[in-house]
Amino acid sequence: MAAPLDMEPSALSLELLPTDPLLLILSFLDYGDLMSCCYLSRRLNQLSSHDPLWKRHCKKYWLISEEEKSQRNQTWKAIFISTYSDLGRYIHYYATLKKAWDDLEKYLGQRCPRMIGSLKESVREEDLDAVEAQIGCKLPDDYRCSFRIHNGQKLVVPGLMGSMALSNHYRSEDLLDIDTAAGGFQQRPGLKQCLPLTFCIHTGLSQYMALESVEGRNKYEIFYQCPDQMARNPSAIDMFITGTSYLEWFTSYVNKVVTGGYPIIRDQIFRYVHDKECVATTGDITVSVSTSFLPELSSVHPPHYFFTYRIRIEMSKDALPEKACQLDSRYWRITNAKGDVEEVQGPGVVGEFPIISPGRVYEYTSCTTFSTTSGYMEGYYTFHCLYYKDKFFNVTIPRFHMVCPTFKVSTARMVSGDAEPNHNEYAVDEDEDSTDTDEYEDRRRVLDIPAPSGRCPRHT
């Protein structure tokens, strides 16, 4: 006999599903929903405790390996819960920051072991709470999370956050430990509620993080301070922006390091940026260029933007021996953001006349300044052949661009009427020629630490 037409089928309960498809469904849940299932019914409680379900979460959020699990002799669920009880507030940051630290340690361990030895162990949660009480400001969770992994480094050279060396200027930035950072917390006008993240013992330079949105800064913005030398108000401090959050600032820097974006020279990280297009080959000789902006030698008012560049000249190892040659002179064509052009010509480089032979590499550094926030340089070297001394030829130097980072003009200066109220990046262009300073170039082989000094000379 057929069933009545108005009879409805019984509702299908999730719990009536067989175990395997139900476990498959649970495997798509995040840790919070999976934990909630423990309280819905006895069966879901049993299934949500299925240990392989927690393996994915341990690896995703805490980067726990099979080897570490074996050493801890706990279930995946127990490991997740115990780790969450300690680091739960950082669950959205921990994996990213831990991977960055692990990648950095692995990379530097092979190239800069002395730097790895300067890293400090992690701090406790109560230590971070004590710092917040001391400075009267909350620390962002991504910053706190990083210090639960490593408490910065000792105040030593080389600094973890990069170095820069010119003939009479040296910078090496340490990543500050939490106590030293707290001791440098600022409440003075111009830097109110700013916490130093880095410090250079040679220049006194720091990168700061704004812990509150005051004095024209965004909360958690990271910057180099730049005192306005033309303002009547001493609290007028412009800012070269280096990051929008600690997570973005730290991980982007680490990525540059571990991918080879920054060269390692004499056990130090040098923050030169190489554009892959800044390469030119003339015959058997290749010239490539990388550049760096130096905030500690720059200012917004007056407009003075200081850049250094590193040039590599290499002859192909497959070149014939009779192609050996010597550099006689250089020619530069320097163009600022307004299109003003300056031409510079002079003998040699760094006061030397290097010989280039098959397979040989010659590198040197130099610097230039612009009155505009950007500019570019290009030119050529003139060489003569060693085997045919009356034969001269030019080698192209590729065009390379230099651009000042985003900056903000001090609100104190704007309010006091010292300048027009333009507080966006790339604000000021004034007439001042840019200058090539090859006379102060320095070869890679002499990149030792010079004594602390003032600004790099612009003229010889």
In a domain, 422, yes or no: no
Query: What stretches of 270-324 adopt beta strand conformation (E)?
Result: 273-282, 285-293, 305-315
In a domain, 429, yes or no: no
Q: From residue 40, how far is each of 45, 46, 60, 84, 189 by CA, in Å?
A: 7, 11, 25, 22, 56
In a domain, 45, yes or no: yes
Print the domain residue range for 244: 94-254
What is the structure's pLDDT at 167?
83
Whether residue 41 contacts residue 15, with contact meaning beta carbons closer than 8 Å, is answered with yes
Whether residues 322 and 185 fall in one domain: no
* Beta carbons within 8 Å of 322's beta carbon, 6+ residues apart: 385, 387, 388
CA–CA gap between residue 419 and residue 231 (Å, rounded): 8
Per-residue pLDDT of the chain (460 residues; tens, 9 = 90+): 455 555 555 555 666 778 888 888 888 899 989 888 888 888 888 888 899 999 999 999 999 999 999 999 899 999 999 999 999 999 999 999 999 999 999 999 999 998 999 999 999 999 999 999 999 999 999 999 999 999 999 998 899 999 999 988 999 999 999 999 999 999 999 999 999 999 999 999 999 999 999 999 999 999 999 988 887 888 899 999 999 999 999 999 999 999 999 999 989 999 999 988 899 999 999 999 999 999 999 999 999 999 999 999 999 999 999 999 999 999 999 999 999 999 999 999 989 999 999 999 999 999 999 999 999 999 999 999 999 888 999 999 999 999 999 999 988 776 555 444 333 444 444 444 455 555 444 433 322 333 333 444 332 2
In a domain, 452, yes or no: no
Identity of residue 374? S
Q: From residue 251, how far is each of 89, 96, 163, 255 by CA, in Å?
A: 19, 8, 18, 6
Whether residues 228 and 306 fall in one domain: no
What is the structure's pLDDT at 425?
41
The DSSP symbol for 270 reads: B
Whether residue 198 contacts residue 206, with contact meaning beta carbons closer than 8 Å, is answered with yes
Whether residues 237 and 114 fall in one domain: yes
pTM score of the predicted model: 0.86
Whether residues 385 and 337 fall in one domain: yes
Task: Extract the tokens encoding 205.
Answer: 């330079």
Q: Residue 312: left (phi > 0), alpha (psi -120 to 50), or beta?
A: beta
What is the structure's pLDDT at 258?
96
Whether residues 75 and 159 fall in one domain: no
Whether residues 280 and 364 fall in one domain: yes
In a domain, 199, yes or no: yes
What is the structure's pLDDT at 429?
40
What is the structure's pLDDT at 9?
55
CA–CA gap between residue 167 and residue 84 (Å, rounded): 51
Whether residues 130 and 160 fall in one domain: yes
What is the structure's pLDDT at 168?
87
Q: Which residues of 142-158 are buried (b: 16+ CB within 10 A; e: fewer)?
A: bbbbbbbbbbbbeeebb
Whether residues 109 and 159 fall in one domain: yes
Whether residues 134 and 242 fall in one domain: yes
CATH of residue 286's domain is 2.60.40.1470
In a domain, 27, yes or no: yes
Element of type H or E holding 82:
helix 76-87
In a domain, 76, yes or no: yes
Looking up tokens 């040039």, which residue turns up? Answer: 311
Among 64, 88, 112, residue at a domain's last position: 88
Q: Residue 348: left (phi > 0), alpha (psi -120 to 50), or beta?
A: left
Whether residues 186 and 100 fall in one domain: yes
CA–CA gap between residue 396 and residue 401 (Å, rounded): 16
Name the β-bridge partners of 306. 369
Whether residues 66 and 101 fall in one domain: no
Among 386, 405, 424, residue at a domain's last position: 405
Whether residues 244 and 109 fall in one domain: yes
The residue among 126, 319, 293, 302 whose CA lies nearest residue 224 is 293
Q: How many domains does the chain have?
A: 3
In a domain, 446, yes or no: no
Q: Cβ-count burial of 423 within 10 angstroms (0-12 exposed, 13-18 middle, 19+ buried)?
A: middle
Q: From residue 147, how far is each of 41, 156, 223, 250 by CA, in Å?
A: 40, 18, 20, 12
Element of type H or E holding 43:
helix 42-48
Among 382, 405, 428, residue at a domain's last position: 405
Q: Is 267 helix (H, G, I), strand (E, B) or coil?
A: coil
CATH of residue 139's domain is 3.40.1580.10
Whether residue 293 contacts residue 402, with contact meaning beta carbons closer than 8 Å, is answered with yes
